[in-house]
Amino acid sequence: MLHLKINLYVPADKIIKSAIAIFFMIFLAASSTNNQPSTDTLRIGLVLSGGGARGFAHIGVLKVLQQAGITPDYVVGTSMGSIVGGLYAIGLSPQELESLALQEDWNSLFEDKISRSDLPIDQKQYADLYIASVPLNGFTPQLPLGLINGQNIQSLLDRLTWPVNQYFNFDQFPIPYRCIASDVVSAEAVELAQGYLSPSMRASMSIPTVFTPMQIDSHLLVDGGAILNFPVQNVLDLGADVVIGVDVGTPPKSEQELGNFIDIINQTIGFRNTETNPHQQELCDILIIPDLQGLTSFDFNEAEIFIAQGESAAMELYDQLIALGVHHPRNENFNPSLLNPDSVLISEIYVIGLENVTQNLVLSALGFEIPCWINRDLMSEGIDRIYSTQFFEKVSYFIHSTDSIDVLIIKVEENKNDFLNLGLRYDSYQNAKLLLNGTFRNKFFKGSRLMVDIKLGEDYSINLDYIVNTAFSYITNRINLLFSLGYQQEYFYLYRLNRKYASLKYKTLLLENTVGVILEKDFQYRLGYVAEHVEINPSVAPPEYSKETYNQISYLMVLDIDKLNRLAFPSRGVKFNLTGRYLNKDFGSYYDLMQISGDGSVYLPVISNLSLFTGLYAGISEGDTIPIQYRFYTGGFKSTPGLNSALGFDRMEVSGLNLMLLRIGFQWEIISNRFISAQINSCCACSRLDDLGELTNYQTAAGISAGMNTFMGPIYISFAGKNIDNTYSFISIGHNF
Same domain, 609 and 694: yes
- Of 414, 437, 472, which residue constitutes the final position of a domain? 414
Q: Is residue 334 part of a domain?
A: no
Predicted confidence (pLDDT) at residue 16 exceeds the cutoff of 50: no
Percent residues over pLDDT 70 in the chain: 88
Q: Is residue 370 part of a domain?
A: yes
State residue 157's pLDDT score.
93
Q: Residue 695 CA to chain centroid, in angstroms?
A: 46
The answer to whether the Cα torsion of 689, 695, 698, 704 is positive or negative is positive
pLDDT tens, 66-119?
Answer: 999 899 999 999 999 999 999 999 999 999 999 999 999 888 887 788 888 888
Q: Where would I find the beta strands (DSSP E) of 193-241? A: 214-216, 219-223
Sequence-distant (6+) residues with CB within 8 A of 6 are: 20, 24, 285, 286, 320
Provide the pLDDT confidence category of residue 237 given band limits of 50, 70 and 90.
Answer: very high
Q: What is the mean pLDDT of residues 563-577?
A: 91
Q: Is residue 32 part of a domain?
A: no
Same domain, 401 and 425: no
Same domain, 254 and 365: no
120 upstream amide cis, omega within 30 of 0: no
Same domain, 595 and 550: yes
State residue 736's pLDDT score.
83
Same domain, 274 and 395: no
State residue 22's pLDDT score.
39
Same domain, 209 and 300: yes
Same domain, 366 and 436: no
Convert 481-513 into a string of H (helix), E (strand) and C (coil): EEEEEEEEEEEEEEEECCEEEEEEEEEEEEEEE
State residue 639's pLDDT score.
44
CB atoms < 10 A from the CB of 145, how many?
15
The SS3 call for residue 36 is: coil
Predicted confidence (pLDDT) at residue 391 exceeds the cutoff of 50: yes
The SS3 call for residue 575 is: strand
Provide the pLDDT confidence category of residue 473 given band limits of 50, 70 and 90.
Answer: low
Q: Is residue 444 part of a domain?
A: yes
Predicted confidence (pLDDT) at residue 554 exceeds the cutoff of 90: yes
In what helix (H) or strand (E) does residue 45 lie, and over which residues does it extend?
strand 44-48
Q: What is the mean pLDDT of residues 550-575?
A: 92
Phi-psi region of 420 (alpha: psi -120 to 50; beta: other; left: phi over 0): beta
Same domain, 405 and 426: no
Q: Is residue 573 part of a domain?
A: yes
Q: Is residue 139 part of a domain?
A: no
pLDDT tens, 156-205?
Answer: 999 999 988 888 899 989 999 999 999 999 989 999 999 999 999 999 99
Predicted confidence (pLDDT) at residue 447 exceeds the cutoff of 70: yes
Q: Is residue 33 part of a domain?
A: no
pTM of the model: 0.81
Average pLDDT of the chain to the nearest whole number: 86
CATH number at 509 reads 2.40.160.50
Phi, psi of 82 (to 5 degrees): -70, -35
**What is the distance between the alpha carbons of residues 401 and 405, in angstroms, rounded to a whole number?**
6
Same domain, 472 and 404: no
Structural domain of 402: 343-414
The amino acid at residue 112 is D
**What is the DSSP secondary structure assignment for residue 146, as one 8-state letter?**
S
**What is the distance between the alpha carbons of residues 205 and 103, in angstroms, rounded to a whole number?**
20
**What is the distance between the alpha carbons of residues 204 and 221, in angstroms, rounded to a whole number?**
8
Longest alpha-carbon distance in the chain: 114
**What is the distance between the alpha carbons of residues 4 and 7, in angstroms, rounded to a whole number?**
10
Q: Is residue 79 part of a domain?
A: yes
Cβ atoms 73, 45 nearer than 8 A: yes
Same domain, 478 and 400: no
Predicted confidence (pLDDT) at residue 452 exceeds the cutoff of 50: yes
Best mean pLDDT range from 103-112, 425-434, 644-653? 425-434
Same domain, 432 and 385: no
CATH number at 223 reads 3.40.1090.10
Best mean pLDDT range from 97-111, 476-490, 624-638, 672-686? 672-686
State residue 430's pLDDT score.
83
Q: What is the mean pLDDT of residues 548-569?
A: 92
State residue 451's pLDDT score.
95
- Of 326, 353, 368, which residue constitutes the final position of a domain? 326
Q: Where would I find the beta strands (DSSP E) of 566-646? A: 573-583, 593-607, 610-622, 632-634
Nearest to 53 by CA among 111, 112, 107: 107
CATH number at 354 reads 3.10.20.310
State residue 450's pLDDT score.
94
Angle (deg, nearest 10), helices 151-160 and 376-388: 170
Whole-Å CA distances, 651 to 351, 498, 613, 654: 51, 11, 22, 8
State residue 677's pLDDT score.
93
The amino acid at residue 101 is A
Same domain, 373 and 508: no
pLDDT tens, 477-535?
Answer: 678 899 999 999 999 988 887 788 889 999 999 999 999 988 878 899 999 999 999 99
Structural domain count of the chain? 3
**What is the distance between the alpha carbons of residues 607 and 599, in angstroms, rounded to a whole number?**
26
- Of 363, 381, 414, which residue constitutes the final position of a domain? 414
pLDDT tens, 284-324?
Answer: 999 999 999 888 888 999 999 999 999 999 999 999 998 88
In what helix (H) or strand (E) does residue 99 lie, and over which residues does it extend?
helix 94-103
The amino acid at residue 132 is A
